[in-house]
Amino acid sequence: MRLLSRSLAFAVFLAGAILPNVSQSQVVPAIKGGGSQINIIGLYSLVNPDGQATLNYPQGKVFSQSEKNRAGQYNQGGAIGADFRLGRFVFGQPALAARFTFSYGNFANESTYMFGPELHYTFNKLRPYGDFLIGKGNIDYKNTSFTDDSIVYEFGGGLDYHLNRRFNARLVDFQYQFWNLSSHTYPAGLEPGVPAQTFATTLRPYTLSFGLTFRVR
């Protein structure tokens, strides 16, 4: 429920930012100029998987600093995706985006499949944007048979630099995620002398990425 409420709050904030501009534009054309376009995106990513949040079994155990450091390491990875941008309106250029992000670490591998709206702006050669994406995330823990999955909520944004008609340099892209891994049940004796335990786990990973966008049309 907390994830849903935060998602709704973000949607209300975005609507509040857009609607005043729309209402003021009733006496001017809705389209400022520029047609639709399709872009392909390729990024190199650094991912903080929030792995320390998974160090909760068995409950009450004091984990060593080396275990915490291993779980909290940044993972290297990347992202590929695409966006379909509509024409430029007075409130910006809306788009629909899809993105696959992956990362590999010593503690676990993570991947997400995300889809949702973006809003782009143009200031000379600079192209800032914001997004709100929803999708599915998967975790494969190293050296174990454990896996996790979750519905993932993600919001963030970034800045592109216009190079030419086909290419933009994505100078920075930052995404903050909300994962709810639901309840985990560990049977009695999974570790010697430890009784059965059930508890919920939530994660707050974030990614920092750089790369290129290529305009297909």
Tens digits of pLDDT across the chain (217 residues): 444 444 444 443 444 444 444 444 443 344 555 678 999 999 999 999 887 777 777 777 777 878 777 777 889 999 999 999 998 888 899 999 999 999 998 878 999 999 999 999 999 999 999 999 999 999 998 877 778 899 999 999 999 999 999 999 999 999 999 999 887 777 777 777 778 888 788 899 999 999 999 999 8
The alpha carbon of residue 115 and the mean position of all alpha carbons in its chain are separated, in whole angstroms, by 10
Specify which residues 112 forms β-bridges with.
Answer: 101, 137
**Which residue matches tokens 């939530």?**
202
Specify which residues 151 forms β-bridges with.
Answer: 136
pLDDT of residue 59: 74
Q: How many CB atoms lie within 10 A of CB 38?
A: 13
Distance separating alpha carbons of residues 186 and 203, to the nearest angstrom: 19
pTM: 0.75
Cα-atom radius of gyration of the chain, to the nearest Å?
21
